[in-house]
């Protein structure tokens, strides 16, 4: 066995692997030091052009300018204190976004460090190989890549087979096999060929490679606001306008009552009443949602895809590799009555010699072990015409000296035999054996020699432990699970019953998948699915969340709106959980933000009019020292609570599978009630300190 070593320096290789697994600097758990590291970026974001993107915080920024000017014209400890903490509020809001972007920047820097100036060996029109910089490659160019060389750009293998080191992308050190003509022909620029020689057709323009897109996305440079985020921004803007009008109309009322309020007090009231907390954290929540996906080695092409994952109500899951381990192996041969087991074994072996799938190889191994037949094709057998498996025929086999040997789905083999060739007895025998195998949860493959049915090969698979519990959790969230499989309906139902899946689509073709997705969407459901082959591309494009496997074809990755770098089909469930967590986090912090305005109302309004309306003292439930200390304490709390909630916005509210009603009750109890109680305690504690400041207390 050959041991493959990473050619990078140990420190760089360790940093890269940590980055891809979410443990790099700036990724994973929140560190308080990130606040200090991101402070310069937060200060740069004080540019009014940046503040205009967030209407709520732009109002705070404008109020900070107004109060600062007022403090200059009429200086006082109170005015300067309010001005200072209003600027802190804006900076802290910028800090939340800067920390979120910084985490992505750390991952992008590690990815960028893996890119090198690569020399490509391009095949010219005259089939001569020329050396050119990788940046000169264009879509459609063919390049030769040999052992030890770096693949110069994204593409598909058109010739050859090789082992490839993809640790620069996935963080996994184990090499993978990539070959032409299948669903594992896609290669990524920046990965290294470890053995053999391949010819790659370039499919991406310079600067638009997969790694380039990853860097742009994890940096947040291409993050667009999602529909729900846009809707919430509009709502927050409307609330801001309402409170702005309320504060503007308050001054005439105050003048009529004989106590005009200073501009400083009015701005402080406005800033404390508008939803500054969620306005400050909204962008960070969206960036952190994509960051959590990157930590799971999933690349989302947009925040819209992450949000859609949170709203998904139907999951289409491949049986093989997702619900079961996917290593189906031949475990038994079942000959028809009157057929010798040796004849069935010989026919099954020859029909599987050119079948490179794990199932095909396992058939050859089974007959070699139990019947003593050779595992390798003889020179005579090598001259045969091999018939590869296709999704259309659902069969494979070999044509040798006028004999046609086939193995495949029972219904397909019976249809291939035709009514003239297959007797009623043979058909009944194949169907009976296949039904018995399927009822055990196995997969039957019928074998035929020309016009003669021989029997059935039994393939066995194992349902992954704990998958039934995962499906039960999804069911509590109102998510329907559908198993997609090429197995016959009986086998599919047996696996479905064992795994606890809600529905099943058996003997599925690409057209069947597409039709099912459209049917679910027509019922008002959002659909998520995974895929890796070109034949999955239409369904991936149609699905609301299409997770393409990184090991799959370029067509599949282009069609999906997410790419799983680990090529793990079970990751789809985790993707949905990340989307749910982002939506729950946004809802929880919105609830908290709106609720804590109530406490600030009790702090500021009584303080403003206590002198002319002594009866308002009853509303001063926190027993704040003076009107000035009450207003300043509310402004300080309004700023500090943003910093306090940054870790929660980045980490996300803890996700527990539950129904929508239960989640709503929990949010109202924890974040609604908490949003009322915490400000009362916080403002009271701050007032105990503020009242000691000369000119305030």
Residues tagged in the binding site annotation for Mg(2+): 532, 536
Rg (CA), the chain: 32
User: For the chain, how are helix, strand and coil distributed in percent, rounded to 5?
Assistant: 55, 15, 30
Binding residues for ATP: 355, 359, 389-396, 407
Please give the Cα distance from 402 to 423 (Å, whole number). Answer: 21
Q: How many CA atoms lie within 13 A of 62 on its CB side?
A: 12
Cβ-Cβ contacts under 8 Å for 583 (sequence gap 6 or more): 228, 307, 310, 311
DSSP 436: H
- Work out the angle between the directed axes of helices 227-256 and 55-73 (0-180°, nearest 10): 30
Write out the two tokens for 557: 């990755």
Query: What residues act catalytically?
Result: 318
**Contact (Cβ atoms closer than 8 angstroms) between residue 412 and residue 395:** yes
CA distances from 261 to 65, 93, 255, 598, 625 (A): 18, 27, 8, 21, 19
Write out the two tokens for 590: 């919105």
Kindly write down the DSSP assignment for every residue of 582-603, as one continuous string: HHHHHHHHHHHHHHHHHHHHHH
Measure the N-to-C terminal CA separation of the chain; round to a whole number of Å: 78
Token pair 């959590």 in the structure block, residue? 292
Query: Which DSSP helix (H) or strand (E) runs through 109?
Result: helix 77-113
Task: Give CA 237 to chain center in angstroms.
Answer: 29
Question: Backbone dihedral region of 216: left (phi > 0), alpha (psi from -120 to 50 degrees) or beta?
Answer: alpha
Length, in residues, of the chain: 697
Please give the Cα distance from 98 to 91 (Å, whole number). Answer: 10
Please give the Cα distance from 408 to 605 (Å, whole number). Answer: 79
Please give the Cα distance from 599 to 197 (Å, whole number). Answer: 69
CA distances from 668 to 549, 595, 673 (A): 39, 10, 6
Write out the two tokens for 194: 């470890």
């Amino acid at each position: 066995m050959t041991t493959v070593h990473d050619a990078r320096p140990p420190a760089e290789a360790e940093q890269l692997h940590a980055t891809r697994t979410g443990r790099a600097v700036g990724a994973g758990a929140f560190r308080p030091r990130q606040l200090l590291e991101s402070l310069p970026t937060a200060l740069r974001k004080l540019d009014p052009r940046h503040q205009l993107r967030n209407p709520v915080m732009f109002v705070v920024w404008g109020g900070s300018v107004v109060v600062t000017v007022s403090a200059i014209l009429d200086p006082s400890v109170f005015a300067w204190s309010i001005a200072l903490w209003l600027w802190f509020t804006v900076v802290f809001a910028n800090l939340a976004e800067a920390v979120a972007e910084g985490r992505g920047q750390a991952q992008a820097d590690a990815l960028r460090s893996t890119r090198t100036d690569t020399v490509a060996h391009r095949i010219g029109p005259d089939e001569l190989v020329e050396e050119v910089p990788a940046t000169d490659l264009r879509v459609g160019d063919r390049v030769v890549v040999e052992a030890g060389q770096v693949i110069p750009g994204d593409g598909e293998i058109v010739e050859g087979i090789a082992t490839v080191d993809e640790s620069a992308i996935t963080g996994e050190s184990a090499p993978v096999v990539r070959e032409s003509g299948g669903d594992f022909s896609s290669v990524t620029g920046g990965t290294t060929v470890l053995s053999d020689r391949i010819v790659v057709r370039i499919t991406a323009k310079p600067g638009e490679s997969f790694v380039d897109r990853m860097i742009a996305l994890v940096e947040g440079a291409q993050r667009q606001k999602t529909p729900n985020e846009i809707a919430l921004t509009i709502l927050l803007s409307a609330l801001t306008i309402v409170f702005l009008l309320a504060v503007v109309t308050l001054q005439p009322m105050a003048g009529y009552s004989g106590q005009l309020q200073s501009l400083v007090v009015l701005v402080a009231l406005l800033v404390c009443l508008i939803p500054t907390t969620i306005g400050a954290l909204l962008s960070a929540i969206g960036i952190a949602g994509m960051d959590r996906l990157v930590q799971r080695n999933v690349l989302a092409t947009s925040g819209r895809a992450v949000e859609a994952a949170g709203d998904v109500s139907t999951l289409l899951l491949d049986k093989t590799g997702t619900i079961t381990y996917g290593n189906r192996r031949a475990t038994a041969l079942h000959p028809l009555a009157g057929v010798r087991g040796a004849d069935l074994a010989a026919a099954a072996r020859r029909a599987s010699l050119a079948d490179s799938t794990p199932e095909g190889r396992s058939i050859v191994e089974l007959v070699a072990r139990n019947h003593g037949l050779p595992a390798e094709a003889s020179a005579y057998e090598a001259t045969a015409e091999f018939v590869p498996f296709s999704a259309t025929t659902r069969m494979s086999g070999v044509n040798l000296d006028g004999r046609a040997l086939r193995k495949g789905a029972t219904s397909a083999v019976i249809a291939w035999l035709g009514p003239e060739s297959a007797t009623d007895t043979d058909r009944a025998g194949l169907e009976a054996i296949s039904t018995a195998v399927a009822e055990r949860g196995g997969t039957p493959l019928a074998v035929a020699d020309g016009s003669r049915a021989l029997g059935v090969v039994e393939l066995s698979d194992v349902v992954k432990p704990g998958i039934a519990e995962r499906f039960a959790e999804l069911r509590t969230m109102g998510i329907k699970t559908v198993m997609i499989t090429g197995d016959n309906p009986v086998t599919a139902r047996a696996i479905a019953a064992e795994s606890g899946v809600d529905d099943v689509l058996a003997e599925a073709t690409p057209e069947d998948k597409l039709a099912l997705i459209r049917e679910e969407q027509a019922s008002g459901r959002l659909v998520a699915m995974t895929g890796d082959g070109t034949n999955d591309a239409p369904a991936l494009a149609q699905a609301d969340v299409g997770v393409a496997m990184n090991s799959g074809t370029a067509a599949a990755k282009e069609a999906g709106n997410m790419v799983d770098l680990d090529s793990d089909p079970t990751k789809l469930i985790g993707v949905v959980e990340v989307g749910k967590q982002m939506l729950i986090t946004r809802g929880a912090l919105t609830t908290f933000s709106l609720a804590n305005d109530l406490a600030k109302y009790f702090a500021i309004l009584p303080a403003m009019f206590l002198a002319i309306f002594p009866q308002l003292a009853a509303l001063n439930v926190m027993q704040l020292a003076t009107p000035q200390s009450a207003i300043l304490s509310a402004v300080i709390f309004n700023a500090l609570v943003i910093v306090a909630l940054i870790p929660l916005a980045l980490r996300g509210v803890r996700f527990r599978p539950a129904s929508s009603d239960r989640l709503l009750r929990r949010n109202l109890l924890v974040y609604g009630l908490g949003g009322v109680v915490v400000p009362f305690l916080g403002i009271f504690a701050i007032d105990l300190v503020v009242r000691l400041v000369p000119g305030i207390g």
